[in-house]
């Protein structure tokens, strides 16, 4: 933070904040070491596994614990959380005023918010700001305590991700440990959701837990209760309703997770007959339930539905990771070089509109595939979120987890795993040095060279002690079967395929 830095004046601990090259070197080295450790861990999580679920859980816990007292890393978004929560606590509308106008430029929270976000209203849902308001009431203007409280909230979300991912993987016929390694133990999650304190952790945790509960109800042999009397026969319906409520609550953190409710609705419609009547009944019921939950959260928090009008706040950023934005920026530069003028803004509006149109068409097609029983709802959700991330006007590194974690619980092809590994390594390792507005070129070069030397020395020192060299190939295993669609109405529930030893073998 700009103020209330607990390391200020402390020898050695204050060194990274005074010498940016040192801090960038330490961060880059840590990112590379984490990525390498993750790859080595994968050798014991894939193929003929030598690691149990409990061992992977304990390993993930050991990776996370040292980051609990760490300052926010890779992003300053958490300071915006603090400012917007404080605005709500003071009785102002965070969906109308930004930190500068709501708190003043001299406020301790405003000083730590990046300049570009000081005048912008909150783009987050009322549930998240309601939680943040409680944290602000508890910690006051103590930045360190408030950041730690927000990290605890995000760790609850991470815990839900770790709980739900293996259960969804078992439902889709994917090995639990493999899905956990690729999804929950992914370096991007640790770097950005834990260290970066991003509210995607809470959003995804609620979404995945809700999807698991809802699908338990959908896949039950008998969904509807046999009588109005309380009893075990109400459990499937209770699971469905509880899961739907959790998914809706996740959308009150960030809206994209509401897609999960659409795929649960399609699975329910297929389960109830797969016809137009079933679709209308399922869609109407889920829509009414979600609107009721949203209205309740808006009323209880006192924030209403103002968040609907601030969803495009982040679009002021021109993100090079977004293909539509990158295409527009490149086209604009070509126009400038040819002497045709700078038409970047106009082209940007066009490419972003085309991106949204493609998202609408593709997500509709995926929903229809689930409704027809041709696609597992978790697979449809992961692919839909992947398309959204790819074509969103703004893409941040942690957005990739929206798609990676659900797909880790469903996708069975080796090509998917290899693509995720490459993306994780590139974004995770080079992400810290991509902030050209924060670091000078010579700092990036010096930090990269220093990190390479440090990592090379560490590898040399541990080459005979750690599994850097290839392990012996395990015996070939049976190939995994892909996830199946929901059960048709009137038929007994089809058991989900159990996870085979190597669930990442190519499907046939």
Q: Give the pLDDT confidence of 442-474 residue by residue, as tens digits.
A: 777 888 888 888 888 888 888 777 766 665 655
- Above 60 in pLDDT, residue 496? no
Instruction: Look up tokens 């849902």; give the residue.
Output: 125
**Distance (Å) of CA 307 to CA 121, 224, 279, 298, 394:** 9, 35, 29, 10, 18
- pTM: predicted TM-score of the whole model, two decimal places: 0.88
Q: What pLDDT score was predicted for residue 318?
A: 75
> Is the pLDDT at 218 greater than 50, yes or no?
yes
Rounded distance between C-alpha atoms, residue 506 and residue 389, angstroms: 25
DSSP summary character for residue 480:
P
What pLDDT score does 42 carry?
87
Task: Find all residues with CB under 8 Å of 369, minimum gap 6, and list them.
Answer: 375, 380
From 403, 446, 450, 398, select the one nearest 74 (Cα to Cα): 398
Per-residue pLDDT reduced to its tens digit, 232-272: 777 888 999 999 999 999 999 999 999 999 999 999 999 99
Q: Measuring CA to CA, which residue among 258, 223, 259 is closest to residue 240?
A: 223
Q: Which range (217-221, 364-368, 377-381) has the least confidence?
A: 217-221
Per-domain boundaries in the chain: 15-222+235-462
Could you tell me if 202 and 156 are in contact, meaning their C-beta atoms sit under 8 angstroms apart? yes
For residue 256, the 8-state DSSP code is G
* DSSP line for 366-392: HHHHHHTTSS-HHHHHHHHHHHHHHHS
């Amino acid at each position: 933070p700009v103020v209330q830095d607990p390391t200020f004046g402390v020898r050695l601990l204050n060194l990274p904040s005074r010498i940016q090259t040192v801090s960038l070197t330490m961060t880059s080295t840590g990112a590379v070491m984490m990525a390498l450790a993750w790859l080595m861990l994968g050798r014991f999580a894939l193929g003929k596994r030598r690691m149990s679920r409990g061992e992977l859980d304990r390993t993930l816990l050991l990776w996370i614990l040292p980051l609990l007292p760490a300052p926010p890393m890779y992003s300053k978004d958490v300071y915006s959380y603090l400012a917007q929560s404080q605005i709500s606590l003071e009785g102002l509308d965070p969906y109308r005023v930004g930190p500068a106008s709501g708190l003043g430029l001299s406020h301790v929270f405003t000083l730590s918010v990046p300049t570009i976000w000081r005048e912008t209203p909150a783009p987050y849902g009322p549930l998240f700001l309601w939680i943040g308001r409680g944290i602000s009431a508890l910690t006051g203007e103590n930045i360190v305590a408030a950041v730690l409280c927000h990290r605890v909230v995000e760790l609850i979300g991470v815990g839900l991700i770790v709980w739900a991912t293996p259960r969804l993987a078992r439902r889709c016929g994917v090995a639990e440990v493999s899905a956990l390694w690729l999804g929950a133990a992914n370096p991007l999650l640790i770097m950005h959701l834990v260290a970066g304190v991003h509210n995607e952790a809470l959003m995804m945790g609620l979404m995945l837990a809700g999807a698991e509960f809802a699908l338990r109800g959908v896949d039950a042999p008998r969904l509807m209760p046999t009588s109005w009397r309380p009893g075990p026969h109400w459990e499937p319906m209770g699971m469905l309703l509880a899961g739907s409520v959790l998914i809706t609550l996740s959308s009150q953190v960030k809206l994209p997770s509401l897609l999960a409710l659409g795929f649960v609705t399609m699975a329910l419609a297929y389960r109830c007959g797969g016809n137009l009547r079933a679709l209308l009944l399922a869609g109407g019921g889920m829509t009414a339930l979600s609107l009721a939950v949203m209205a309740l959260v808006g009323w209880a928090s006192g924030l209403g539905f103002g968040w609907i009008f601030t969803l495009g706040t982040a679009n002021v950023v021109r993100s090079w990771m977004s293909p539509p934005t990158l295409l527009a920026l490149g086209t604009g530069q070509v126009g400038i070089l040819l002497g045709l003028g700078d038409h970047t803004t106009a082209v940007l509006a066009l490419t972003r509109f085309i991106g949204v149109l493609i998202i609408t068409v593709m997500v509709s097609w995926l929903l229809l595939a689930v409704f027809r029983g041709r696609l597992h709802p978790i697979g449809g959700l992961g692919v839909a979120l992947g398309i959204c991330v790819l074509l969103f006007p703004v893409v941040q590194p942690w957005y990739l987890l929206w798609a990676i974690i659900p797909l880790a619980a469903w996708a069975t092809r080796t090509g998917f795993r290899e693509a995720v590994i490459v993306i994780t390594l590139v974004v995770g390792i080079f992400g810290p040095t991509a902030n050209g507005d924060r670091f000078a070129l010579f700092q990036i070069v010096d930090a990269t060279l220093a990190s390479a030397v440090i990592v090379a020395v560490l590898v040399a020192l541990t080459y005979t002690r750690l599994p850097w060299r290839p392990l012996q190939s395990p015996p070939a295993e049976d190939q995994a079967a892909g996830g199946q669609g929901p059960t048709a109405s009137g038929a007994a529930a089809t058991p989900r395929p159990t996870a085979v030893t190597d669930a990442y073998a190519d499907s046939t």
